[in-house]
């Protein structure tokens, strides 16, 4: 899904990149189910079912937020999102919507305070209990890669920093990533 973002070096730009992004994001639930099922453990399956039910419930609000932004920009393309934010960023216009977006991102990433893949009475780590070594490393690399992905998506949806300067864009991406990571320390269980 990194291909969908409008870099300067892209050979092609998709007119329906937002719809393709929504489609690719909805596939992640199947991956989570297969990860819990393939480990052949009841705790892993329960953790993956909890995770998928949470992802589906918050994905609905996430998609509605993206649809509101698509209606305002009258387009399905990331390039048009940036072109419509030349004078005023959507971050300033839709600040309450941005807060709802941030809460939905926390839920999509299974971060605190919405990390329900681990049961309160269980001492296991949800769907990744049976994974070790390389598989466990890949799971957590994918999790932190998704944090960077959603931070970059926040820059594209709510600001126009990609057109101005790469330095400011990367600074905003780092601020968003640090906010997501700091939420675990600010809101412990």
DSSP codes, 154-171: HHHHH--HHHH-HHHHHH
φ/ψ of residue 162, rounded to 5: -70, -30
**132 in a domain, yes or no?**
yes
pLDDT band at 93 (very low <50, low <70, confident <90, very high): very high
**74 in a domain, yes or no?**
yes
**32 in a domain, yes or no?**
yes
**79 in a domain, yes or no?**
yes
**8 in a domain, yes or no?**
no
**Full-model pTM:** 0.84
**4 in a domain, yes or no?**
no
Angle at 45 between CA 43 and CA 48, to 5 degrees: 110
pLDDT band at 36 (very low <50, low <70, confident <90, very high): confident
Is the per-residue pLDDT at 12 higher than 70? no
**97 in a domain, yes or no?**
yes
- Can you tell me the mean pLDDT for 108-120? 71
Domain count, the chain: 1
pLDDT in tens, 125-182: 666 666 777 877 888 888 889 999 999 899 888 988 877 777 888 899 999 999 998 9
Q: Which domain holds residue 18?
A: 13-186
Spatial CA neighbour of 81 closest among 7, 149, 6: 6
**1 in a domain, yes or no?**
no
Looking at residue 117, its pLDDT comes to 64
CA 46 to chain centre: 22
Report how far residue 130's alpha carbon sits from residue 109's, in angstroms, rounded to the nearest whole number. Answer: 20
Which long-range CB contacts under 8 A does 176-185 form with residues at least 24 apart? 176/150, 176/151, 177/147, 177/148, 177/151, 179/102, 180/105, 180/106, 180/109, 180/111, 180/147, 180/150, 180/151, 181/147, 183/106, 183/111, 183/112, 183/113, 184/111, 184/112
85-89, 109-113, 176-180 — which is least confidently predicted?
A: 109-113
DSSP annotation of 76 reads S
Average pLDDT over all residues of the chain: 82
């Amino acid at each position: 899904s990194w291909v969908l973002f409008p870099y300067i070096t892209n050979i092609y730009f998709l007119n329906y990149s937002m719809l393709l992004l929504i489609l690719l994001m909805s596939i992640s639930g199947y991956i989570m189910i297969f990860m819990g099922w393939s480990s052949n453990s009841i705790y892993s399956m329960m953790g993956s079912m909890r995770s998928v039910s949470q992802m589906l419930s918050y994905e609905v609000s996430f998609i509605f937020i993206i649809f509101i932004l698509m209606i305002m920009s009258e387009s399905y393309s990331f390039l048009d999102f940036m072109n419509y934010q030349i004078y005023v960023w959507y971050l300033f216009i839709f600040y309450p919507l941005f807060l709802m977006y941030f809460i939905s991102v926390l839920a999509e990433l299974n971060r605190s305070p919405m990390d329900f893949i681990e049961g309160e009475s269980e001492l296991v780590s949800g769907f990744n209990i049976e994974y070790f070594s390389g598989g466990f490393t890949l799971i957590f690399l994918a999790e932190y890669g998704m944090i960077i992905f959603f931070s970059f998506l926040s820059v594209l949806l709510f600001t126009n920093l990609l057109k101005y300067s790469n330095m400011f864009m990367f600074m905003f991406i780092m601020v968003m990533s640090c906010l997501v990571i700091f939420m675990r320390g600010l809101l412990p269980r």
